[in-house]
């Protein structure tokens, strides 16, 4: 009997989404031949709610291994709004279930990050056959050692830091580089170490601006005419860490430094140290472009494992990499949990041993 398999990509885009879609499709065609039909749901859960889809053919999956972004499109549909009926009067959960049933899907594969996995788990609890695939440049999905997209973003952020070194040295400046990562600092930690940053500021470790400035002054005293500060966009100082989000965001807005800490850190460093300081924000470039070799392999591993789960009718799970092995976790065990940098993380120890200040 022919299986009808839906695939969607939700949340932010990242390198490796298309490679994972390709991995799923190619493995399904190899394993099941003409006994499988793939339906692409367009623009994530928004498409599932509104019934936007495309019947896919084998040729649609050619040339995807190196292609960034997602051929299915994506939109953010926050989990907290999934069970809220808004002005359009649409019951989103009921609409998603209806589209699933109207398409006569046997299962739905949901590629995305933490929010995507929470909605995937919700749909699984509503009785749909769901398989998750962990995507995010933040590498913060609980239950997996790595997510596809992360290593490509590390390469891009590292390249930014590499290039900033020459400008910082030429102009005797302190350069604050804002790296993506709102709640988890994995990307900043990896890229900061790989790029030779002197100071790394992470959401998990509230910083003290006096310590940051002391590290800059210490380098200057030792003969270094510049410093590189890698700042996770979600970095907080010790005072903010004791506040609620609404409180510190309002305080930042009042001071005119915007939503992230980077501009305020730069201003404080320049004022306290007297060194010329500049901010660099690579932003969405970290999510764009072709996936690196590591992510191409990982995406293919994850996609082929998901195809095996489809054939075995093993649902309510999400694919993961643990200790070098591709496995699956139950959605209900990982949804709603984040993988943040623990204080015992080996890389934090490495950073400290290398003389990197963590603020």
State pLDDT tens for residues 10-42.
988 899 999 999 999 999 999 988 899 999 999
- Same domain assignment for residues 297 and 283: no
The mean pLDDT value for 97-107 works out to 96
Question: Do residues 207 and 300 share a domain?
Answer: no
256 and 161 in one domain?
yes
pLDDT at 250: 75
User: In the predicted model, what is the mean pLDDT of residues 156-179?
Assistant: 93
Helices (H), the chain: 17-32, 44-50, 92-102, 114-125, 150-171, 186-194, 209-221, 238-241, 245-255, 262-273, 293-312, 331-334, 346-353
Whether 343 maps to a domain, the answer reads no
Assess whether 37 and 140 both reside in one domain.
yes
Tell whether 340 is covered by a domain.
no
Interacting residues of 34 by C-beta distance below 8 A, sequence separation 6+: 2
Predicted pLDDT at 72: 95
CA distance 327 to 319: 6
Q: Are 111 and 74 in contact (CB under 8 A)?
A: no
Q: How far apart are CA 13 and CA 16, in angstroms?
A: 9
Residues 230 and 106 in one domain: no
User: Cβ distance 61 to 21 under 8 Å?
Assistant: yes
Which of 251, 270, 287 is the endpoint of a domain? Answer: 287
Tens of pLDDT along 200-243?
999 999 999 999 999 999 999 998 899 999 999 999 888 877 87
- Residue 31: inside a domain: yes
Instruction: Supply the residues annotated as catalytic.
Output: 138
Q: What's the mean pLDDT when you consider all of the chain?
A: 92
Q: Which residues of 226-237 are buried (b: 16+ CB within 10 A; e: fewer)?
A: bbbbbbbbbbbb
Tell me the average pLDDT across 306-333: 96
CB atoms closer than 10 angstroms to residue 254: 8
Question: Do the Cβ atoms of 6 and 108 come closer than 8 Å?
Answer: yes
**Residues 99-122, mean pLDDT to the nearest whole number:** 95
**Is the pLDDT assigned to residue 258 strictly greater than 80?**
no
Q: Are residues 301 and 271 in the same domain?
A: no
Largest Cα span, the chain: 74
Q: Is residue 342 part of a domain?
A: no
Residue 256 has pLDDT above 80, yes or no: no
Cβ proximity of 316 and 115 under 8 Å: no
Using alpha carbons only, how large is the chain's radius of gyration in Å? 22
DSSP codes joined into one string, 77-111: --GGGTT---TT---HHHHHHHHHHHTT-SEEEEE
Environment class of residue 170 by beta-carbon count within 10 Å: exposed (0-12), middle (13-18) or buried (19+)? exposed
Residues 129 and 184 in one domain: no
**Residue 33 is part of which domain span?**
3-149+291-334
Query: What tens digit of pLDDT does each residue of 75-95 get?
Result: 888 888 888 888 888 898 999
CATH code of residue 44? 3.40.50.450
Percent of the chain surpassing pLDDT 90: 77
- pTM score > 0.85 for this model? yes
pLDDT at residue 4 is higher than 90: yes
Strands 53-55 and 317-322, by their bridges, are unpaired
- H/E run at residue 176: strand 174-179
Total domains in the fold of the chain: 2
Distance, CA of 236 to CA of 239 (rounded, Å): 8
Band of the pLDDT at 246, cuts 50, 70, 90? confident
Of 137, 130, 118, nearest to 16 by C-alpha is 137
Contact 163, 157 (CB under 8 A): no
- At residue 311, the pLDDT reads 94
Position 168 scores a pLDDT of 86
Domain end point (choices 230, 265, 287): 287
Q: For the chain, how many residues are written?
A: 359
> Tokens in use for 223?
């003969």
- Report the C-alpha gap between 273 and 262 in whole angstroms: 16
Instruction: Please indicate, yes or no, whether residues 161 and 275 belong to a single structural domain of this protein.
Output: yes
Residue that wins the pLDDT comparison between 249 and 236: 236
**Residue 300 sits in the same domain as residue 180:** no
Residue of 191 and 244 predicted with greater confidence: 191
User: Would you say 229 and 279 are in contact if contact means Cβ atoms under 8 Å apart?
Assistant: no
CATH number where 203 lies: 3.40.50.460
Q: Is the per-residue pLDDT at 259 higher than 80? A: no
Same domain, 163 and 208: yes
Instruction: Flag whether pLDDT at 325 surpasses 80.
Output: yes
Which pLDDT belongs to residue 210? 93
**Edge-first strand listing for the sheet containing 36-41:** 53-55, 36-41, 3-9, 107-112, 130-134, 317-322, 325-330
102 part of a folded domain: yes
Instruction: Indicate whether 74 pLDDT > 80.
Output: yes
Is residue 253 very low, low, confident or very high in pLDDT (cuts 50, 70, 90)? confident
Q: Select from 178, 194, 177, 141 the least CA-distant residue to 14.
A: 141
- Give the rounded distance of the alpha carbon of 3 from its chain centre: 31
Q: In the structure encoding, which two tokens stand for residue 162, read together? A: 């590499």
Instruction: Look at residue 65 in the predicted model and tell me its pLDDT.
Output: 94
Please report whether residue 349 resides in a domain: no
Does 120 share its domain with 34?
A: yes
């Amino acid at each position: 009997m022919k299986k009808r398999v839906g695939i969607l990509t939700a949340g932010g885009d990242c390198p490796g989404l298309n490679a994972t879609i390709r991995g799923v499709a190619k493995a399904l065609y190899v394993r099941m031949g003409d006994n499988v039909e793939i339906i692409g749901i367009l623009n994530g859960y928004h498409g599932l709610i509104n019934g936007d889809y495309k019947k896919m053919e084998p040729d649609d999956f050619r040339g995807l291994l190196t292609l960034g972004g997602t051929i299915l499109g994506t939109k953010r549909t926050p989990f907290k709004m999934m069970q809220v009926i808004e002005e359009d009067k649409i019951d989103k959960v009921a609409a998603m279930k209806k589209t699933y049933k109207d398409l006569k899907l046997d299962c739905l594969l949901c590629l995305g990050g933490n929010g995507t996995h929470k909605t995937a788990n919700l749909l699984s609890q509503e009785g749909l056959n769901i398989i998750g695939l962990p995507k995010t440049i933040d590498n913060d999905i609980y239950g997996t050692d790595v997510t596809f997209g992360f290593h490509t973003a590390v390469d891009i952020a590292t390249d930014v830091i590499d290039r900033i070194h020459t400008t910082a040295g030429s102009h005797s400046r302190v350069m604050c580089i804002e790296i993506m990562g709102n709640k988890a600092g994995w990307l900043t930690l990896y890229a900061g170490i790989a790029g030779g940053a002197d100071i790394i500021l992470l959401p998990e470790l509230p910083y003290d601006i006096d310590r940051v400035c002391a590290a800059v002054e210490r380098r200057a005293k030792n003969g270094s005419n510049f410093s590189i500060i890698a700042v996770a966009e979600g970095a907080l100082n010790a005072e903010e860490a004791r506040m609620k989000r609404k409180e510190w965001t309002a305080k930042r807005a009042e001071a005119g430094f915007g939503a992230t800490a980077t501009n305020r850190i730069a201003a404080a460093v320049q004022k306290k140290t007297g060194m010329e300081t500049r901010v660099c924000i690579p932003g969405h470039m970290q999510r764009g472009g072709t996936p690196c070799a590591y992510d191409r392999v990982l995406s293919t591993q994850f996609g082929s494992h998901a195809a095996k789960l489809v054939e075995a009718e093993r649902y309510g799970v999400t694919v993961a990499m643990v200790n070098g092995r591709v496995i699956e976790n139950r959605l209900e065990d990982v949804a709603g949990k984040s993988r943040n940098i623990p204080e015992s993380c080996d890389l934090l120890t490495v950073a400290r041993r290398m003389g990197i200040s963590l603020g």
